[in-house]
Amino acid sequence: MATILALVLVLIVIGSVSFHLLSPWWLTPIASNWGYIDNTVILTFWITGFGYIAIILFMAFCVFRFRHREGRRAAYQPENNRLEWSLAIGTTVAVAALLGPGLFVWYQFVTVPKGADEIEVVGQQWQWSFRLPGRDGLLGTSDSRYISSDNPLGLNPNDPNGQDDLVIVADDLHLPLGKPVKVLLRSIDVIHDFYVPEFRAKMDLMPGLVTYFWFIPTRAGTFEVLCAAFCGVGHPEMRGSVVVENESAYQAWLQKQQTFAQLSARAKKVNLRQ
């Protein structure tokens, strides 16, 4: 019986490694500068995979080596300093190897290069909205107290820097190819998480806080935006799109977007008619 159990453990290791190597659930083609994320994930797989294989094979060895035999008695050894030191040192090295690259990548992830364009992503149940600076290159301030049906993103109507901001509600976000962009993230209700798998970049949106990260789109195309934090019954449907295109196409798209001032003026006209 012990021999069979040991064989089953070995087969589990073989099956796990084979599934990992042959699995179709691998990383999507990358479309940003964050290859470091892929490298960190792969390194994590190697370290944790080696530990997983070593532990399972050690269990199989123990099951077979110390199987029951007539006349053999178990020896009780409550302490083994050499083994305990080896496990402590080995665990420390493994944890450092896991955390070190992640801290290095995180520092790069939040260190925005000079000259990066700023955009804002606003999450709400259950849609994505976006805001881009106008000709002045500055985003105006916002506050949840200003949120209304005529001002869904809560922009400050008294801030002159926000009057020319481009407001895109529940529509696609367009970005120019090959230019760094700083993404400011804000939620107006619950916790969300802005995630584009091809960009290898994701960040939580916390009510009352503004989080951020940056990236460079490196491949033209249309990429799906997902919410990676459970945010209610409509969570699976909280999707959007990011369109990465060349500069001329991006500028043409910008010309078609409406500013906060234009949307406010239109809303006032509608209210007067009513």
pLDDT in tens, 128-174: 999 999 888 889 999 888 888 888 888 998 889 889 899 999 899 99
- The Cα 173–Cα 132 span in angstroms is 10
Average pLDDT for 175-185: 95
Greater confidence (121 vs 97) lies with: 121
Helices H, strands E: what count in the chain? 5, 10
- What is residue 274's predicted lDDT score, i.e. its pLDDT? 59
Q: What is the pTM for the complete model shown?
A: 0.79
Per-residue pLDDT band for 271 (boundaries 50, 70, 90) equals low
Of 4-8, 131-135, 202-206, least confident by mean pLDDT is: 4-8
Whether 184 has a pLDDT exceeding 70, the answer reads yes
Per-residue pLDDT band for 115 (boundaries 50, 70, 90) equals confident
Q: Where in the chain is the domain with CATH 2.60.40.420?
A: 117-273
- What is residue 63's predicted lDDT score, i.e. its pLDDT? 85
Per-residue pLDDT band for 272 (boundaries 50, 70, 90) equals low
Could you tell me the end-to-end alpha-carbon distance of the chain, in angstroms, rounded to an integer?
83
Contact in structure between 140 and 156 (CB atoms under 8 Å):
yes
Two tokens, residue 195 = 């995630």
Strand partners, 204: 193
Whether 25 has a pLDDT exceeding 90, the answer reads no
Whether 273 has a pLDDT exceeding 70, the answer reads no
**Per-chain mean pLDDT for the chain:** 88
What's CA 173's distance to the chain center, in Å? Answer: 17
- What is residue 216's predicted lDDT score, i.e. its pLDDT? 96
CATH number of the 117-273 domain = 2.60.40.420
Cβ count within 10 A of residue 9 = 20
Average pLDDT for 234-258: 93
Among 92, 76, 74, 95, smallest CA distance to 84 is for 92
Whether 24 has a pLDDT exceeding 80, the answer reads no
Query: What SS3 state is found at 90?
Result: helix
DSSP 157: T
Whether 221 has a pLDDT exceeding 80, the answer reads yes
Among 194, 202, 208, 191, smallest CA distance to 142 is for 208
Query: What SS3 state is found at 233?
Result: coil
Two tokens, residue 37 = 């994320």
Greater confidence (185 vs 29) lies with: 185
- What is residue 22's predicted lDDT score, i.e. its pLDDT? 83
- The Cα 175–Cα 191 span in angstroms is 25
Q: Which of 37-41, 133-137, 225-229 has maximum average pLDDT?
A: 225-229
Element (H, E) at 266: helix 260-273
Provide, for the chain, the percentages of residues in helix, strand and coil under a 3-state DSSP scheme, each rounded to the nearest 5: 45, 25, 35
Q: Which residues contact 270 (CB under 8 A, 6 or more apart)?
A: none
Greater confidence (74 vs 56) lies with: 56
Average pLDDT for 205-219: 93
Whether 268 has a pLDDT exceeding 80, the answer reads no
Q: Percent of the chain, pLDDT > 70?
A: 97
Among 247, 237, 121, smallest CA distance to 185 is for 121
Buried b (16+ CB within 10 A) or exposed e, 12-47: bbeeeeeeeeeeeeeeeebbbbbebbeebeeeeeeb
